[in-house]
Amino acid sequence: MTQTQTVAFSKNSTNIFFHILTTCNLKCRHCYINPAQHGKDTLPLPTIKAWLEAFSKNSNSKNLILLGGEPTLHPELAAAVKHARGLGFASITIDTNGYLFGDILAKVTPAEVDYFSFSLDGATRETNDQIRGAGSYETCLEGIRRTIDRGFATSLIYTISSANIHELEMMVPLLDSLGVDRFFIQVIGLRGKSAVAQDGSDSPESPQVSRTQWLAVVPGVARKIAQHGISVTYPKVFLNSDEKFECAGTVADNYFVFPNGRVYRCPLCEDFPIHSLCFQENQLVPTAKLNEQDFFQLDIPEGCVMNKMIQPYHISYGEEGVPEYKIACCLLKEEINGG
């Protein structure tokens, strides 16, 4: 039996999504890294340590997700992990495309890294490699196997687009055979490369899926995967009129940190210079208004105000001009455990 629950936002835990560099060996079609907004620096280890220390003063339980670009390209990744562990972070995750550079598996231990989180965007080589590049499918699967062999826990992230939604169901046997612990389904958003020349149509060229496609496929496949004992998380995306809307920017404690020192509270804001915090001389300080915090306060019938501004065609209206549904915060997740 499986059980689906919406993961409530909490101010009692802090999640730090720390991009320690923006360099990557791949060129995925939907990459959300935007060097013009996020910088091109590889952060030196002393800076990483200082920024981690700035967050460690926070009294909450703290979770660290190390990202890039490709974080295993950072020559000091293992040292950054060990420093974070020493600072008392409750969990540490490394997000990777699977190439696992720098012999990282030999330099950290399962006691230091809670999860290696891999990205795969197709159940077949053909589909994944069209999105993420030639050879990335085999490399990712091989990386997962090596990581599990070394005793680490693993996650897999699948970003749904019109190019791969038809293969989501095929992930059930693949996940089973790999032995992955957690499966995260994401939805392609209008950030980074995906933000260029999109109109939200269901044309084969549009990477975005419609509400109908999403609801027809994702919740059902997620339940099937959970029946195999894998924890599954996916974004709620659409709220019914009787469901309460909340903006994580006002009710959660998330930080999205970039190498140029920008710190956002909302991922949908990352393509714009509206970050509400930044690092100055290794101190985390608020930025001047207007910034993302001013948008979080706006109460609109469509739900998420950033979604309304950057992808308004995701919302349908009735005859009275009333939205037929609300768009949930992109950070609101459904979690299914079972098996």
- Residues at the site binding ligand SF4, with contacts judged by CB under 6 A: 24, 26-28, 31, 33, 68-70, 97, 247-249, 266, 268, 295-296, 304-307, 329-331
* Residue number with CB closer to ligand SF4 (57 or 289): 289
Place of tokens 């992808």: 311
33 close to 24: Cβ distance less than 8 angstroms: yes
Two tokens, residue 279: 């690092």
Strands 253-257 vs 13-19: parallel, antiparallel or unpaired? parallel
* Residue number with CB closer to ligand SF4 (127 or 307): 307
| Separation CA 265–CA 154 (nearest Å) | 26
- Per-residue DSSP letter, 156: E
Task: Please list, in sequence order, all residues whose beta carbon lies within 8 angstroms of the beta carbon of residue 302, skipping any fewer than 6 positions away.
Answer: 308, 315, 323, 326, 327
Beta carbon of residue 65, minimum distance to ligand SF4 (angstroms, whole number) = 13
* Residue number with CB closer to ligand SF4 (56 or 147): 147
Beta carbon of residue 74, minimum distance to ligand SF4 (angstroms, whole number) = 13
Beta carbon of residue 254, minimum distance to ligand SF4 (angstroms, whole number) = 8
Beta carbon of residue 319, minimum distance to ligand SF4 (angstroms, whole number) = 27
Place of tokens 């499918």: 137
The angle, 0 to 180 degrees and rounded to 10, between the axes of the packed helices 171-178 and 211-226 is 30
| Separation CA 237–CA 332 (nearest Å) | 8
* Residue number with CB closer to ligand SF4 (16 or 226): 16
Beta carbon of residue 247, minimum distance to ligand SF4 (angstroms, whole number) = 3
* Residue number with CB closer to ligand SF4 (56 or 308): 308
| Separation CA 172–CA 228 (nearest Å) | 8
Beta carbon of residue 249, minimum distance to ligand SF4 (angstroms, whole number) = 4
* Residue number with CB closer to ligand SF4 (95 or 167): 95
- Per-residue DSSP letter, 291: S
Helices (H), ranges, 57-168: 77-86, 104-107, 125-132, 136-149
* Residue number with CB closer to ligand SF4 (206 or 276): 276
Other Cβ atoms less than 10 A from the Cβ of 255: the count is: 20
* Residue number with CB closer to ligand SF4 (70 or 271): 70
Beta carbon of residue 182, minimum distance to ligand SF4 (angstroms, whole number) = 18
| Separation CA 302–CA 304 (nearest Å) | 6
Two tokens, residue 152: 């680490």
* Residue number with CB closer to ligand SF4 (226 or 256): 256
The angle, 0 to 180 degrees and rounded to 10, between the axes of the packed helices 136-149 and 125-132 is 100
Beta carbon of residue 186, minimum distance to ligand SF4 (angstroms, whole number) = 11
Distances (CA, A) of 259 to 36, 62, 284: 12, 20, 13
Beta carbon of residue 127, minimum distance to ligand SF4 (angstroms, whole number) = 15
